[in-house]
Structure 1
C-alpha cells in the first residue's frame, strides 16, 4: 500500500511539473509530499529531521522575495554581469530589428496551434491576379532565355522597356507614390512565374523589390525624397541598385569599411553641408545600368558639423547617390554565372548633400537597422520565390520527361533509382511551395526576421537538392546547352541563390539560432537587458521564471519522448494529426536543449557554430513541417495526391530534425551533459526515418500524371509553360498528349515487344497493329502524333561551330545573307 501511494505521489508530482507549476505551487507540492512520506513512515525520525532542515530553510529563501534576491539572485546577477558580452549598437540593432512570429511558438516548447490555424494566407486581389495572368505572362512570352544568357548576355531592349513601363520595378511602392502597391505574396507569385521562364529576368525584377533604395525610401525617406524618387522608380524612369557588399565585406555586412566624412564644400558658388564618400563595392546587382544608388557606409563627423561635438562616429548610414555624381565609377560588369546585370561601384571623394541621407540627417547612423529589416523582407519574398519556382519547374519538367522518356521499353520513371530522386523532387517542391506561401503571407503582416533567415537558407538548399536530382534524371539531356535545355541555365545560376543575402553557411551557423535564441526565447534577452541595467528585482523575476520554464520543458521533452508523442496535443482530425504531436515533442526538446546549451556554454556557444547550427536546424525543420501542415489544411483536404506529398515532406522534415537533435547531443562540447541531454530528449533513440521507397514510388507515379498538386500550380499561374516553340512548351505538349492515349500506347508497345506487331519503324508497326485490329485508325493516328511530339521533346541542340565562337556575328551574317538572297530573288522575278 505504501509503495503504491509513493508511486501515485511521484506520478502526481511529475504531472504537476509537466503541466507547469509556479514556485509557490512547487513548494506546497513538495511540502505535501514530505508530509505524506512522514505520515506513512517512509522516512523515519532521522529522515524527517534531515528533510525538514533542508526543505524549510530553502522554502523560506525561495519564496521570500527580498531574502531570495539578497542571498541567491544578487550573486548570480554579479556573476552574470561579469560574463555578459558587450553588445555594439550594430549588434543590438540587428537583434532588435524585425519581429518574432510563429517561430517563437516553436522555439518555446509548447506551440499554441490556434495561432497557426487562425492565421490567414494573403489572398491575391483581382488586380494582382490580372497582373500575374496578363502582364507577367506577356513578359515571359517575350523572353528567349538562351538568347539572353548565351547570345546577348543581357535582356533585349524591348524586355527592359516592358519591365520599366509596366511597373515591375514598383511592385512594393505604394499606390500613393505611383507604384503598384502589391502584397508580398503577389510579388512572390510574380517573381516565381518569371523565374520559371528566365532566371535573369527574375533577378532583374526582384532586386528593386527586395533590397533597394525604393523600399528604404518608402519606409524611412523624407516626404521630399518620397515625392521625388518613388514615382520615378515606380514608373521605371530610374533604375535602382544598392551598394552594400565589397571586397572585404560579404556575409559580414556590418563590417563595412566604406566611409563618409561630413564636411563643407562650395557647390555652384554656394557652401553646402554634405558628405565626402570613399567606397569600393562589388557584387551589386543592377549596378551597371542603375541611375540611382542606395549606398551603405560608415558616417563620421570629426568636426561636429551635425551639431553633436561629442559624437564623431555615427555608424552605418544609407544615402542616395545619383549616377551622374562626380567621382562615381560605374558601368563595369561582373558575370556571376548568369546574364543579369551585376557589377562594381567605386568612388573617391564623391560629394553628396546631407539631405541625400535616406530619411534626412536625423537618420544618420540608422542604416543598419534599416538594412536588416529590409533584408529580412527580401529574404522572405524573393529567394523563396526563386526556390519554389525551381521546385515547381523541375517538378513539372522531370515528371513529364520521366513519363515520355523510355529505356528498356519502360518510362524511366518506373525505375526505383529514378523514383527515389523523383520522390525528393516532389516532396521538396511541396515543402517549398508551402513555405513560400506561408512566409510571404507573414511578411504581409510583420517583419519576421528569424523566419526569413530560416527560409532563405533552407529554401535555397532544397532548390540545390531538387536541381541535383533533376540533373541526374535528365542526364545528357540536362548538360547539352541550347534553347531546348530548360535545366542547364538554372543549374549554372544556382550558386547565386546560395551565396546572396548572406552565404548559406553563415546563415545556418550564425544567424538562425544566434538571432532566434535571443529573439524567440521568453526570458534570455530580457535577462540580458535587466543585467545591463543592474535591475535586481526584474532580473530576479526573470531568472526564477526561467528556471521553472527550463524544468518544465525538460520534463515535457522526456514525457513526450517516452510516450511516442502521444501526450502531445493535436488541433486536427485530419490524417496528418500525428505529425502535430511530433512537432510539439521536438519543440519541447529544442526549448530544453537550447536552455542547457546557453546555460552551460554561455558566450562560448557563439563560437560553437556547429552546435548552434544543429539547434537552428531543429527549429528550421519544425517551421517547414508546420508550413506543410498549414498548406495541406488549406489546399489538400480530401486529396490523396496532396496527402501523399505532405506525408513525404513531413517525414523528411521530422527525420532531419531528429538527426540534427541526435547530432547535437552526440557532439555537445561537454560529453557528459550531451549524454544526459540524449537520455532526456531521445531516451528511445532517434526513431524518425526518412520517406520509404513506396512513398517515393507513389510520388513519382503522381508526377507522371496531372495530379491535384500540379493542377493547383497550373491554376495559380505559378509556372510559365510556353508554346510549341519553347523547350518546356514542347515537353508539356508531349506530356499532355500522352495522358490522352496512354492506355492505347502501352498496349501497342507491349504488342510490339511480344512480337505480335511487326515493322521496321513506328509507321509500319502502327499500320500492322491497325491491320490486326489491335488499334483503330483514330488510335493509330493519335499514337503517331504523340510519338512525333515525344521524339521532338527529347532532342538536344547542335550548332555550327562558327555560331559557338561568335553567336552575334554569326546571326548577323546569316541575317545579311538572308536579306541578300531575298533581294536576288526579287530582282530575278522582276
Structure 2
C-alpha cells in the first residue's frame, strides 16, 4: 500500500473515531498504531523522531486524570467560570422549567426519523368530537361578530350563559371537579373552531383554559383550594383572570414592581398570618368580569415570619375580586376586539397566607409555576388561533378567488393571485402540521417550553402573512368593515396574538435559542450547574467538570465529523428510514441538523456569555431550530394523514420553504458572526458547495393554488374545523353556498365561454344576455340557464360590500353593556 493510500485510510479511521465518539484511549491507540504503521512502511522516515514525542506529550496528559486536570481541564474550568454569564434566579427557574422534546434530537444533529413518524397521532375521542359537532357548532351559531364588536362590545347574554351551561370554561378541569377533562387536541380544536367565527369569543373561551387559576390549581393547588375553586370554575360560577403584566414590566416578569409583605393582619375578625399586597396590573383579559383573580407579585418577609429568607421571590396567589381593597379599572379596547380586558389595582390589600396557590410552602416558587404552565397558552390556545386564521383564510379566499371574476376569468387563475394563494395553502399546511405536532408532548405531560415558544412565535407570524395575502386577494371586499366582512376582524386581531405572553421580538431573540441551547445541549447546562456549585465544593466541581468536559470534547468532534461528511455529500449517503418521496428531505434535514449542532457549539464556545447579548445571532440560530422543528411536523402530519398525492404537493411546498429559510438563517449567521474568519470557516463546513435550496417553484405553487379553487380533499382536510354558516344570509354561508354553486354551474359557464371564443355569442353582452343567447342557440338547457341566473344573483351578493347611512354611528357602539358587566361580577 502506498504512503498516500495509507494516509487516506488513516484519515478515514480518524474520521470514523470522531463520528462514533470513541473514548480517549481508543484515539490514542489509533494514532499510535497509525504512526507505527507509517514508520514500518517508511512513509515518515526520520520525522518519527519528532512525531512520537509529540504523541506522548499530548496522549499521556489526556489519558491520566490528574495530569489532564492539572494541565488542561482545571485551566479550562477557570476560564469557563469567568466567561459564564451572570444568571438571575428567574433566569435559572425559566431554564429549569419544562422539558425538551423532539427539538433536542434536532439540536444535537442526530434526528431519528423513525421515532418521529412513530409518535402517536393526536386524535379526538367520541365524546370530544360530539362536543365539537354539537355544542361548539351551536355556540358559533349564536355569534354575530359585527354585533359583538360594534353594537354591544361584548358577547350576547345567551352566549355567556351557554358557555357556562356547557362548561366551556372547564375544558381542562377533571370530571371529578365537574369539568369536561378534554385532551389538548380537543381544547385546541374548540378554540380553533370558535376562532373562525369570532376572535372575541375565542379569547373569552381560551383564557380560563390557558394560563390562569385552573391550570395553576391543578398542578400546585392544595386539596382545599382545588375542591373549592375548580367546581366553581368548571361551571362558570367563577370567572377567572390572571394578573401578571404591569405598566413597568411587560415580558420581563422578573422586573415586576408589585410586592407583598408577609405580616399579621385581620381577616374575618381574626388575626392571621398573611400578606399585605400592593399591585398595579394592566392588559388583564377578563378582568372587567372576573370574580376570582390569580396574582403574581414579589414576596418579602422582613420579619422572618416564614423562615430565615427575607426575599422570597415571585409568588402566585388566588383571591376573589370583591375582596376589600381590590380595584377593577375601566376597560381596555384591544384593536377593535370585544373581549373583556382591563387593569386591576390594589394598595395594602391584606390576604391570608393560605391564599397562596399551594399554600405557604409555595411562597417564592411562582416564577417556576408560571414557566411550567405557559405551555397551555403557547402550545394550545395561540397556535389554535393562528391555525384558525390560516384555515379560514384558505377556505374563504379559495372560494372567493373562484367566484370573483375579472375579464371573464376567475381571479384565482391569474398568476399574481396564484402566488398568494399558494402561500396561503402552504403556510396553512405548516400551521396545521405544527399545531398538531406541538400537542403531542402536551398530551404526554411533557412541558416542552422550547417547542411551545417556537410554535407561538412562528405560527403567529405565519398567520399574519396568510391574512395579509387573503386581504390582498379580496381587495376592497376585505377592507370595508361591515356585517358581511369575514376577514377584517382576523386582520385586526393579529397584533393581539403576536403580543400575548411577550412580544414576538423577544420570543425570537431571547427565548427560543437562549433557552433551547442550554436545555437541548447534552452537556452545557450540566457544565453551568457545576460552575455555579464551585464555591460550595471546589474539589468536587473540578472533578465533575473534568469528567463531563471529555464527553463534551467527543461530542464536538463527532458533530464536526458528521457535519462535514453530510455537508460534503449534501446528505446523499445518509441512511434513510422514510418513504421514497420523503427521502430527499430526510437527507437534507439531517445534514442541516448536523450543521446546527456544530455551529451552535462553536458559537457557545467562542462567544460564551456574549451570545446571550448577541440577540440577532441567537435569533437566527433559533430560526434554524424552529424551521427544522416545523419541517419535522410537516413530515409527521403527512404520514398521519395517509400520504395522499394531494397532501404531498402541499407538504413538498412547505418542506422546500423550511429548507430555504434554514439555509438563509445559516448564511445570515455566518455573514454576521462576531469573528468573521470563524464565520467563513463555519460556512465552508456547513455549505462547502454554496447554497443548495431555493423557494418553491412557480409550477408547484400553481398546482397547490388550483386545489384551493375546487372542493378537493385537501381543502376539506385543512379547513374541517372552520365554522361555516348554514344559509346564505350568513356571510360565510353565503360564500360557501356560492362556491358550491360555482362548481356545479361551471360546466354550463364553460359552454358559454367557449361559444364566446367561437364568436357565436358577443363578448360585449352582459352575463344575463349571454345566458339568454346560449339558451336560444341550445348551447345550454333551460335548467342550466335558470341555475346560472340564480348563481349570478348570489355571486353579486358575494362580491358586494357593506354600506351605511351617512348618520350611522361608525366607530361607536349604539348600546353599552356596562350594566351587564356589573351583573356578571355579582
- When the two structures are superposed, what TM-score results if normalisation uses the length of structure 1? 0.95
- 2:390 maps to 1:391: yes
In structure 2, the residue matched to 1:316 is: 314
Mark the CA change 1:377 to 1:27 in structure 2 (over 3 Å): closer, same or farther: farther
- 2:750 maps to 1:746: yes
In structure 1, the residue matched to 2:30 is: 29
In structure 1, the residue matched to 2:66 is: 66
Q: In 1, distance between residues paired with 2:421 and 2:20?
A: 43
Contact 2:267–2:352 (Cα < 8 Å) also in 1: no
In structure 1, the residue matched to 2:734 is: 730
In structure 1, the residue matched to 2:821 is: none
Q: In 1, distance between residues paired with 2:77 and 2:666?
A: 31
Q: In 2, distance between residues paired with 1:757 and 1:606?
A: 70
In structure 2, the residue matched to 1:823 is: none
In structure 1, the residue matched to 2:381 is: 382
In structure 2, the residue matched to 1:327 is: 325
Query: Any idea what the Cα deviations from partners look like across 1:130-172, whole Å, max 9, x if unmatched?
Result: 1111000001000000111111111111111111221111101
- 2:721 maps to 1:717: yes
Offset, 1:81: 2.1
User: Larger deviation: 429-438 or 525-534?
Assistant: 525-534
1:336 aligned to which of 313, 334, 337: 334
Offset, 1:493: 1.1
In structure 2, the residue matched to 1:244 is: 244
Contact 2:140–2:723 (Cα < 8 Å) also in 1: no
Number of equivalences: 807
In structure 2, the residue matched to 1:431 is: 430
Q: In 1, distance between residues paired with 2:724 and 2:37?
A: 73
Offset, 1:722: 4.5
- 2:60 maps to 1:56: no
Mark the CA change 1:31 to 1:719 in structure 2 (over 3 Å): closer, same or farther: farther
Mark the CA change 1:808 to 1:536 in structure 2 (over 3 Å): closer, same or farther: closer
Offset, 1:18: 2.9
SS in 1 for 2:581: coil
2:579 aligned to which of 573, 580, 587: 573
Q: In 2, distance between residues paired with 1:522 and 1:419?
A: 45
Q: In 1, distance between residues paired with 2:815 and 2:673?
A: 62
User: Larger deviation: 528-537 or 372-381?
Assistant: 528-537
- 2:760 maps to 1:775: no
SS in 2 for 1:197: coil
In structure 2, the residue matched to 1:43 is: 44
Contact 1:189–1:718 (Cα < 8 Å) also in 2: no
Contact 2:267–2:351 (Cα < 8 Å) also in 1: no
Mark the CA change 1:218 to 1:169 in structure 2 (over 3 Å): closer, same or farther: same
User: Larger deviation: 163-172 or 111-120?
Assistant: 111-120
Q: Mind listing any 5+ residue stretches in structure 1 that lack a counterpart?
A: 813-830
Contact 2:433–2:634 (Cα < 8 Å) also in 1: yes
Q: In 1, distance between residues paired with 2:474 and 2:754?
A: 25
Contact 2:527–2:545 (Cα < 8 Å) also in 1: yes
Q: In 1, distance between residues paired with 2:742 and 2:448?
A: 45
In structure 1, the residue matched to 2:553 is: 547
Q: Whose RCO is larger (CA < 8 A, sep 6+)?
A: 2
In structure 2, the residue matched to 1:406 is: 405
In structure 2, the residue matched to 1:588 is: 594
Q: In 2, distance between residues paired with 1:510 and 1:417?
A: 37
Offset, 1:564: 1.8
In structure 1, the residue matched to 2:476 is: 476
Q: In 2, distance between residues paired with 1:682 and 1:139?
A: 53
Listed as ranges, the matches of 1:478-517 within 5 Å are 478-517=478-517
Mark the CA change 1:754 to 1:368 in structure 2 (over 3 Å): closer, same or farther: same
Contact 1:107–1:591 (Cα < 8 Å) also in 2: yes
Listed as ranges, the matches of 1:601-620 within 5 Å are 601-620=607-626
Q: In 2, distance between residues paired with 1:769 and 1:266?
A: 89
- 2:622 maps to 1:623: no
Q: In 2, distance between residues paired with 1:438 and 1:785?
A: 44
Q: In 2, distance between residues paired with 1:505 and 1:519?
A: 21
User: Larger deviation: 233-242 or 413-422?
Assistant: 413-422
In structure 2, the residue matched to 1:652 is: 657
Q: Mind listing any 5+ residue stretches in structure 2 that lack a counterpart?
A: 535-540, 818-826
Offset, 1:249: 0.9
Mark the CA change 1:614 to 1:713 in structure 2 (over 3 Å): closer, same or farther: closer
In structure 2, the residue matched to 1:826 is: none
Q: In 1, distance between residues paired with 2:699 and 2:35?
A: 56
Query: Any idea what the Cα deviations from partners look like across 1:553-580, whole Å, max 9, x if unmatched?
Result: 1221121112121132321124122111
In structure 2, the residue matched to 1:679 is: 684
In structure 2, the residue matched to 1:258 is: 258
Query: Any idea what the Cα deviations from partners look like across 1:345-368, whole Å, max 9, x if unmatched?
Result: 111111111111000001000100
RMSD: 1.7
Offset, 1:810: 9.4
Q: In 2, distance between residues paired with 1:483 and 1:601?
A: 55
Contact 1:102–1:115 (Cα < 8 Å) also in 2: no
Q: In 2, distance between residues paired with 1:296 and 1:756?
A: 76
1:803 aligned to which of 795, 805, 808: 808
